[in-house]
Every structure is written in structure tokens, then in C-alpha cells.
Amino acid sequence: MMENHENNMNNRQNYRETVNKMGKKEFTLIKMQEYGFWPKNLPTPYEKQENETKEQYAQRKDLLEKYQKIIDEIANLYEEKDKINERLREFQKKYDETWDYEKIRLDVSKIIMEESIARRAERKKQREFEKRQRSEAWEKEKADKIVFIGKGYSSLLQDTETDDEKLLSQELPLIKDDKELANFLGIEYKKLRFLVYHRDVVSVDHYNRYTIPKKKGGVRNIAAPKSILKNSQRKILEEILSKIPTSNYAHGFLKGRSVVSGAKAHTKQPELLINMDLEDFFPTITFERVRGMFKSFGYSGYVASMIAMICTYCERMKVEVRGEEKYVKTSNRILPQGSPASPMITNIICVKLDKRLSGLASKYSFVYTRYADDMSFSFMNDNSDLNIGKFMGLVSKIIEEEGFNINKNKTKFLRKNNRQCITGIVINNEEIGVPRKWIKRLRAAIYNANKVKNNGDLPSSKVINEISGMTSWIKSVNARRYEDIINDAMDLINSQL
């Protein structure tokens, strides 16, 4: 036994001397060559390399990386072996003169248990240290950068890749992080953090909320952004959204287009006019769709997520909790009606929808236009072979594939013998106009106001404002056709100045 021990000591001494003389890595590589792990015809990196090709160099580097792990493992095994042998010698010395195996077993078990407890305590201490480090790093990162914008909305914040070339080609501002976004919007950084963070329950809401009645019953929810948010949305509209091309078939919320231009795009007195309405138009456009739109411009997921938070909101219900007013989320984030950016966002998102529907309409000899959520298809030819059912089925399919739904209760098929209106404009007369009852209402208002004036009194400002608004409307639709009534209205209005 003593002889084996002396041989081991001599082997270790020889090994150490050889390693110290050659170096651990070179020695290991030579041993690897001896045992066939390293090709003998391939020089080691410690020899002078002459006439070595790029391919040979690449192969050698690849092998170095591949076997570096093996080198380290071999070194660790030798080190571990030395530690084990040292412990065995300690045990051998301690128990060399006793044959009390039960005592040896108990002592060894006790030592193992103590070492195990010490290792667990050390590991626990290390985990707590690492956890504390991560927490401190996270707090520092949160202080320096927006890293969370609300549950369900932060999934793309790790995407920080911006397509500079694409943004510049569209003349869009380069915005690469939260600091640059705050500078772009012209607001303090802490204000940006407040605007882009979503909570399900809040004490302070960014919107003034109210409802307006619909023409045919029910109410429409309107959310008007407060000043800081509204200014940010307007900046996004003017500097980003307004530079993105929209469809030629869209006539809502675009410069030089209106309900009048939309009506004029159709032939007067068509054989058939189909009016359709998209159901829950603004609520259908979700945060995810808005974020995807900004990402398609070239912005990173990080920046697109924050801009989308500014441009969307969630419907809320006001409740009282312990005497304090709270606003509780009742929907996921959607496009608000009342934001200056929302109309343009709808037009951009609907570009593909307009393209597909206009192509279908052209195939069936229809003319197509869209004003917000109102779509119109007019057909001029008296074609008895036209399959309306098939056409409407294809329209429905396209609309559903683009993420919208048709309000079937508002779909109307209007022939020549019906009054054919597009967004309030009558098109089945010789020239476009407004409904007759509308003109009758204006004539009655002018007549009653003149009657009050002739009696020596002044018509109320509310009546004058109503007449002024109605007059401006018919003037924008067809000033020549309604010239007489426009003159009567202007005489009345001017007499009150």
C-alpha cells in the first residue's frame, strides 16, 4: 500500500514538472494527439504556422473551441482527484489504528452531514446575493428605462431593432428609445412614463368621457383625451400618420375629401346602390393592430408599443371605493373616438381592405367608396346576370378576413325608384343634393326667425347658429342648386351682426 502511495506521489510530481515546463494547454493538446483526439497532421496553435491556408486556420480554431471544454474538464478532474486523495489520506491517518467500523461510519456520516449543511447554507447565501443583485439591477433598469407598460401589453418591449432605412424612405422621424420618444413629443420623461403605463384600476383617467345619441337610437361612447395626451396624439398625427399614404377610395378625415367627394365619386342615378356599415368600427381596432401598424412603418416593437399605448385606451366604469372615485377597466385597449389620431389610424389600417374591396367592385362593374365605417357600392349597368348574393358573399368574406364585421341591420339595397343617399348626400337626381325634408327644415327655421325679427324681437343666438350651420352644409354640397335659400339665410344672418 505504501509502495502504491509512493508511485502516485512520483507520478503527480512528474506530471506537475512536465506541465510547468510545457504549459497546461500545450501539454493537454499533446496528450490529445497521443490519444487520437487531435489530428497529428494538424499543427497545434503553439507551433509556428507556415503556409497555413484560411481553411486550415478555420479548422484549427474550430477544434480549439470544440476541445477547450475537454481541456478544462481534464484539469478539473485532476484537481478533484487530488482533493479526494487528500481526504482519503486524512481518513487513513485518523483511523489507521482502529477497527471500530461503526465509529468510522458515524464520524464520516457526521462530517458529510456538516459539509452538506455548510454547502446548502453557502448556496442559499449565494442565491440571496444573486437575487439581491438582480433586484438592484432591475430597479436601476426601471429607473433608467421603461421596461413595463402593463400586463398584456409589454410583450414586444425586448424588440429594440429599428429599420432606419425604411423610416427615412418615408420621411418619418427616427425614434429609437423612450428618451427620444419623450423629446419627439415635447413632454417630460416622467410624463411619458405616466401616459404609456396601463392599470386596470386608476384614480386619474387620461380621458374626459361622455356619450352622444345616435340617430336611430342608442348612444355612442366618446372619449376625449386631456390636454397633454391630446397634444401627444396630435404630434403623432402630424409628424408620422399624415406622411403615410392612404387609399384613394377613403373619403373620411382626409384633406380635400369629404362626404361630398365620396358621393361625387359615384355615378348619379345608379341602377343599384348598396350601403353597408362596419359594426363597432373603432372598438374593432385593438392595441395589437395599432402596435403592428407602427411596427410596419419601421419602428421597433419597443417604440411601437409605447406609441400604441398613447393612441389607444380602454373603456372604463366609474365606481366609488371607500369614498374615493375609481375608474375600472371594462374592455381591452382599443382605438378611442375623440382622439385626433384615431381617424387617420383607421384609414391606414383599412388600406388593404379598400384595395381588396375596390378590386372586387371593379370586377363586378361596381364603384366603391368608404367614409369611416360607411361603405358604398354603386352599379350603373342594368345587368340581369349580376349575382348579388355571390357578390355580397365575397364582400363579407373580405371584410371578415381583414378583421371587421358587417352591421347587417344597416345594409341597404337601393334601386332607382328609392331615394339613393350616400352619407347623407342624395345622388339619384340630376345633380347631387340633400334630402328634401332637410331643406324644408331650413326654410322653416329661416321663416320663423324672420317672423320674430319682423315683430321687433331678435332671434336667439341658438337659432341663428343652427341656421348658419345648416346653410354652410348645403353650400358645401351644392351651392349653385341651393343658391336662393343660401341667400335668404345669409341675409338673415348678416342682419343680426
**63 or 40, higher pLDDT:** 63
- The amino acid at residue 165 is E
Element (H, E) at 92: helix 54-94
Position 88 scores a pLDDT of: 72
Are 187 and 232 in contact by the 8 Å Cβ rule? The answer is yes
334 vs 283: CA distance, rounded Å: 5
The more confidently predicted of residues 473 and 43 is 473
Q: What is the pLDDT of residues 397-423, one digit of tens each?
A: 999 999 999 999 999 999 988 999 999
Taking all residues of the chain, what is their mean pLDDT, rounded to a whole number? 87
pLDDT at position 48: 47
Mean pLDDT of 70-98: 75
291-335 per-position pLDDT tens digit: 999 999 999 999 999 999 999 999 998 888 888 889 999 999 999
The domain defined by 249-284+352-433 folds into Alpha-Beta Plaits (3.30.70)
What is the per-residue pLDDT across 4-52, written as a single tens digit (0 to 9) for each?
Answer: 555 556 666 677 777 776 666 677 777 777 777 767 666 666 554 666 6
Q: Is the pLDDT of residue 177 over 80?
A: yes
- Residue 67 DSSP label: H
Rounded Cα distance between 479 and 477, Å, is: 7
Q: In angstroms, rounded to a whole number, what is the distance separating the alpha carbons of residues 270 and 274? A: 10
- What's the CA gap between 270 and 263, in Å, rounded? 12
Q: Taking the CA atoms of 454, 459, 465 and 470 in sequence, report the sign of the dihedral they define.
A: negative
CA proximity to 442, closest of 420, 463, 458, 422: 463
Neighbours of 259 (CB within 10 A): 20
DSSP 125-142: HHHHHHHHHHHHHHHHHH
Query: What's the burial of 104, exposed, middle or buried (CB within 10 Å: 0-12/13-18/19+)?
Result: middle
Q: Indicate the pLDDT class of residue 103, thresholds 50, 70 and 90.
A: confident
Is residue 359 a contact partner of residue 255, using CB atoms and an 8 Å limit? no
Residues 6+ apart with CB under 8 A from 191: 182, 228
What Å distances lie between residue 467 and 293, 436, 490, CA to CA? Answer: 42, 16, 9
Instruction: Please answer whether residues 419 and 426 qualify as being in contact, where contact means their C-beta atoms are separated by less than 8 angstroms.
Output: yes
- Alpha carbons 167 and 319: distance in angstroms, whole number: 43
SS3 at position 202? strand
- Which residue is listed with cell 482519503? 88
Residue 337 to residues 34, 47, 163, Cα–Cα distance (Å) = 78, 75, 30
Contact 335, 233 (CB under 8 A): no
Task: Place 183 in a pLDDT band, splitting at 50, 70 and 90.
Answer: very high
Angle at 163 between CA 160 and CA 166, to 5 degrees: 155
pLDDT at residue 219, as a whole number: 76
Measured CA to CA in angstroms, residue 248 lies from 134, 233, 265, 352, 463 at distances of 53, 24, 11, 11, 38
Instruction: Say how far apart CA 337 and CA 224 lie, in whole Å.
Output: 7
Please list the residue range(s) of the chain that carry CATH number 3.30.70.270.
249-284+352-433
Predicted pLDDT at 12: 66
